[in-house]
């Protein structure tokens, strides 16, 4: 007896959701297909009913993981709030549900072209959002500001997750956030 289209779609989405979380936590090469399928409640063989190969799933995973940015954007009414909503301890401490741009930045550089293309789409989506916030605040150089804000946020978040000293980690977040907020605040 076959599975319904709804059940198949639900299983596929469960695989993508599990992979999106685990790849953000462990990197693209840090977790295997066996762990993903086990957590998704399917056999490794059943995976291939949904995807032709692990690599075929990765581009979709990037887009699924990037949905976490929707809540960030919804809670960010201006560039300073966007910076503060990104550079904080809860985001640092929960990479599995946080921004895939920072969590996967190093892995994506070595990924297949389709996965890199998906990542590029999501980078551009964030840049467009930040550019819109900067335009709304009257900055003529809105795209340049967005590029700097995104680069500094991703860099600071990555460093804050990498250093071993918790106080230094928090200092990175706080000081980069404050510098970006000052940079982002419209001069009246």
Based on the fold, state whether residues 93 and 165 are members of the same structural domain. Answer: yes
| Count of domains for the chain | 2
Distance separating alpha carbons of residues 25 and 177, to the nearest angstrom: 23
The reply to whether 100 and 18 lie within a common domain is: no
CATH number of the domain residue 26 falls in:
1.10.10.60
Q: Tokens for 43?
A: 């056999």
User: Any idea what the CATH number is for the domain that residue 87 is in?
Assistant: 1.10.357.10
Q: How many CB atoms lie within 10 A of CB 106?
A: 11
Over 80: is that where the pLDDT of 187 sits? no
The Cα 79–Cα 183 span in angstroms is: 9
Express each pLDDT in 98-119 by its tens digit: 999 999 999 999 999 999 999 9
15, pLDDT greater than 80: yes
pLDDT reported for residue 1: 47
Q: Predicted confidence band at 28 (pLDDT cuts at 50, 70, 90)?
A: very high
Mark out the alpha helices in 27-75 (DSSP H runs). 33-40, 44-47, 54-66, 68-74
Note the pLDDT of residue 184.
80
Task: Report the 10 Å Cβ neighbour count for 70.
Answer: 11
- Range with lowest mean pLDDT among 3-12, 25-34, 99-108, 162-171: 3-12
Q: Would you list the DSSP string of 75-117?
A: T-SSHHHHHHHHSSHHHHH-GGGS-HHHHSHHHHTTS-HHHHH
Do 39 and 79 share a structural domain?
no
- Report which of residues 119 and 4 the model is more confident about: 119
Question: Angle 88-91-92 (CA atoms, 0-180°, nearest 5)?
Answer: 80
Of residues 65 and 186, the one with the higher pLDDT is: 65
């Amino acid at each position: 007896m076959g599975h319904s289209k709804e059940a198949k779609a639900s299983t596929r989405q469960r695989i993508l959701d599990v992979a999106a979380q685990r790849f953000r936590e462990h990197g693209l090469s840090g977790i295997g297909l066996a762990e993903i399928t086990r957590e998704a409640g399917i056999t490794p063989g059943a995976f291939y009913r949904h995807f032709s190969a692990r690599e075929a799933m990765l581009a979709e995973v990037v887009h699924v993981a990037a949905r976490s940015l929707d809540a960030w954007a919804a809670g960010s009414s201006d560039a300073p709030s966007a910076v503060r909503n990104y550079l904080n301890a809860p985001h640092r401490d929960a990479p599995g549900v946080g921004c895939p741009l920072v969590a996967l930045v190093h892995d994506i550089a070595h990924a297949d072209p389709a996965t890199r293309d998906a990542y590029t789409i999501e980078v551009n989506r964030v840049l467009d959002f930040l550019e819109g916030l900067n335009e709304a605040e009257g900055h003529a150089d809105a795209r340049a500001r967005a590029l700097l804000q995104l680069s500094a946020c991703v860099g600071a978040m990555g460093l804050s997750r990498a250093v071993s000293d918790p106080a230094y980690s928090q200092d990175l977040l706080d000081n980069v956030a404050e510098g970006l907020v000052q940079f982002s605040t419209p001069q009246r």
